[in-house]
Structure 1
Amino acid sequence: MLSLFFVPLVIVNIGFITSPWVLFFMYILSGLGMAGIGMGVMHDAIHGAYSKNRKVNKYMGYTLNLIGANATIWKIQHNVLHHTYTNIDEADDDISAPFFLRFSPHAKKYWLHKFQFIYIWFFYGLSTISWVTSKDFIKMRQYRKMGFIKQEEFRKEMLQVISWKLVYYSYTLALPIIMLSMSPWLVVLAFITMHFVTGIAISLVFQTAHVMPSSEFPLPDEDGMIANDWAIHQLATTSNFSPRSRVFSWFIGGLNYQVEHHLLPNICHVHYRKLSRIVAETAREYGIPYHTKKTFAAAVWDHIKMLYQLGRMELAPVKQRVK
């Protein structure tokens, strides 16, 4: 995955490419590698599941920084907020969205949400562009206010975010503009295309795991408590897909086994396929939901249906929201 990301960029930066078609092809390959790093390398590493050695996990986690994002911010957003408060409105940062998107029946509904199942693909494609430009800075300030980043560490962390992004933009955008005898706007468009490929791939894999018709969106009671046990909560809010496709599973870092990942996030994804049999049998034994779709296409179709429903579903009454 690292080679799939870096080798095309090295070829681009050498400056020998003269065909726009070859330029776009190289950036698209790099986009697939970027998605692969995000799902199959840094994801395990930041969870502490890539290796038994903490230093190996730490340094492999920095592969996220190499593709323009920030490992510290991701760890808070994903490991802490998403995995602890899965599908809980205003707590799970993965379903927190701008006003024009609605991922929870408890989020405020606007008239334009009726069309989100159509226009969402554009925003999925731009999601990583947002990530490597503004999102990390916004989240950095947000997490400081929430107490995840201490005030005395904020300046240092912010400088690291800026430094890593300067390095990233230097070899993905600035150097190609300098080295290639093509219009700079053509290079910028190829760069955006790379991110569009990455954004679509990552968004679909992560969103089809939780924003589904089968998923529950529980809310805490007056005391801030969720009724279900944490493990049951993960099963109720998470869905698997395409369990038989080993090649697809390899490409997306085992994230087609999202149920197993949420129950055992510190276990490397190479074990999820075998663990899924045990988890499924245990769920059946105790009458607990175990959601799965046979194919990725079926999961995407259900995700589209859920987006359509959320665009028409009114805000759930309070008595129905407390579970």
Structure 2
Amino acid sequence: MDDIRPTIRTRPREGTARATRAFTELAQQVRHQGLLRRRYGYYWTKLIAAPLVVSLCLAAFVWIGESWWQLFTAAALAIVFTQVAFLGHDAAHRQIFVSGRWNDWISLILGDLLVGMSYGWWQHKHTRHHANPNKLGSDPDIELPVIAVTAETAAKHRGPVLTWTRGHQGVFFFQILLFEGLSLHASGVRRVFARGRLERRWVEIAFLGIRLGGFLTLVFLVLSPGIAFVFLAVQLGLFGFYMGIAFAPNHKGMPVVPRDMTLDFLRRQVMMSRNVRGTRLLDVVMGGLNYQIEHHLFPSMPRPHLRRAAPMIAEYCRTHDVPYTSVGLLTSYAIVVRYINRVGLGERDVFTCPLIEQRSLIGST
């Protein structure tokens, strides 16, 4: 018995140490290639352009006045606000400046003042997601109020109507995204007025008040109530839809991690994330989120470096037997729809996944 115990105890440690060295080596390669270097010119251009473009859209809105043509303005604002949100996401991940304080204030200005989303709410939620992507009980992004993305969620509150709805939830997934914009605004407002610690609470309350209250006031001053409500429905609907389709392909349909499972950082981030390959235009449209694997491994990597890093990281993962998933855009959406339909029907056992086998391999090396 005494001879066996050291073997059982040391093998997992050796495997963990080897896995840690693997990520350390990758990080050294990434740093050596200059892929963590700041891109001040790129980001200052965007930071100057963001408020200018928003101002131009609002000026066009006032100039057009009472007209159904304003629905095109609503669509344009939805696209602009989403792109500004992507920029705020970069700042929140410390991609723009070395100073954390500067990044925080840029996130507050872009998120709260220009887009109307609470930076404090988003930071808390998103930090938990990055720490444990697709892990039950830890990742808030798999605990959705309407769509069930885990078998655990789908098993709750079963009934004939809900069973049918959940079984076809993939069909309704994109329609539900039309309400995501309203949900994002509401979640932010609830957070800033809720109890609990929140840095710069009064700044967020002021910024959200100016953005949400000011925008609504402007809309109803320029437009009659009928057109105003349709305008807001289009703007909020398309904003939520755009945000949803940018984030949905990243993790939905990838393995879900059991609560008691522990993985090394490299495998935890790569195996639960999915890249969406495409052109540079897709990179712009998706705000760099299509390089989800690279983003999860190196959250502070500036967005323009993600495309350069992807081939190197993919090759590194192949040489270290770490599954690296990269698919086309339409394929990614097909995977998401198929997966959430299977979850809704109760056909998906989230514990039957390659991660169990991977953990066994790690522990035995």
Q: TM-score, normalised by structure 2?
A: 0.75
How far residue 32 of structure 1 moved from its aligned partner, in angstroms, is 0.2
How far residue 138 of structure 1 moved from its aligned partner, in angstroms, is 4.3
2 CA distance for matches of 1:115 and 1:123? Answer: 12
Match of 2:43 in 1: none
Q: Secondary structure at the match of 2:258?
A: coil
1 CA distance for matches of 2:130 and 2:232? Answer: 31
- Between the aligned residues of both structures, percent identity stands at 18
How far residue 171 of structure 1 moved from its aligned partner, in angstroms, is 3.5
- Aligned pairs for 1:1-323 (under 5 A) are 2=50, 3-12=52-61, 14-20=62-68, 22-39=69-86, 41-62=87-108, 63-65=110-112, 66-78=114-126, 80-98=127-145, 100-109=146-155, 110=158, 111=163, 112-133=165-186, 135-139=187-191, 149-150=196-197, 157=201, 159-178=202-221, 180=222, 182-212=223-253, 215-221=254-260, 226-242=261-277, 244-293=278-327, 295-314=328-347, 316=349, 323=356
Check 1:141–1:115 CA distance in 2 against 1; reply closer, same or farther (3 A cut).
Answer: farther
How far residue 141 of structure 1 moved from its aligned partner, in angstroms, is 7.5
CA contact (8 A) 1:254 1:272 kept: yes
1 CA distance for matches of 2:342 and 2:213? Answer: 42
Check 1:270–1:321 CA distance in 2 against 1; reply closer, same or farther (3 A cut).
Answer: closer
Q: Secondary structure at the match of 2:217?
A: helix
Q: Which runs of 5+ in 1 are unaligned?
A: none
Higher Rg of the two aligned structures = 2
Instruction: Show CA shifts across 1:16-36 (max 9, x none).
Output: 42321x211011101001111
CA contact (8 A) 1:128 1:195 kept: yes
Q: Secondary structure at the match of 1:123?
A: helix
How far residue 42 of structure 1 moved from its aligned partner, in angstroms, is 0.4
Which residue identity is paired with 1:117?
G
CA contact (8 A) 1:210 1:239 kept: yes
Instruction: Show CA shifts across 1:46-88 (max 9, x none).
Output: 011122343432232120112111111111111x211001011
How far residue 194 of structure 1 moved from its aligned partner, in angstroms, is 1.1
Check 1:16–1:205 CA distance in 2 against 1; reply closer, same or farther (3 A cut).
Answer: closer
How far residue 211 of structure 1 moved from its aligned partner, in angstroms, is 0.4
CA contact (8 A) 2:64 2:70 kept: no
Which residue identity is paired with 1:176?
V
Q: Which runs of 5+ in 2 are unaligned?
A: 1-48, 357-365
Check 1:264–1:42 CA distance in 2 against 1; reply closer, same or farther (3 A cut).
Answer: same
CA contact (8 A) 2:283 2:290 kept: yes
2 CA distance for matches of 1:191 and 1:118? Answer: 25
How far residue 320 of structure 1 moved from its aligned partner, in angstroms, is 8.4
How far residue 96 of structure 1 moved from its aligned partner, in angstroms, is 1.3
CA contact (8 A) 1:5 1:29 kept: no
Check 1:317–1:89 CA distance in 2 against 1; reply closer, same or farther (3 A cut).
Answer: closer
Segment drifting more, 25-34 vs 193-202: 193-202
Check 1:216–1:174 CA distance in 2 against 1; reply closer, same or farther (3 A cut).
Answer: same
Q: Secondary structure at the match of 2:275?
A: strand
CA contact (8 A) 1:4 1:32 kept: no
1 CA distance for matches of 2:245 and 2:340? Answer: 12
Q: Secondary structure at the match of 1:266?
A: coil
CA contact (8 A) 2:273 2:325 kept: yes
1 CA distance for matches of 2:288 and 2:88? Answer: 13
Q: Secondary structure at the match of 1:94?
A: helix
2 CA distance for matches of 1:141 and 1:177? Answer: 26
**CA-atom RMSD in angstroms:** 2.5
1 CA distance for matches of 2:226 and 2:119? Answer: 30
2 CA distance for matches of 1:209 and 1:69? Answer: 21
1 CA distance for matches of 2:105 and 2:149? Answer: 33
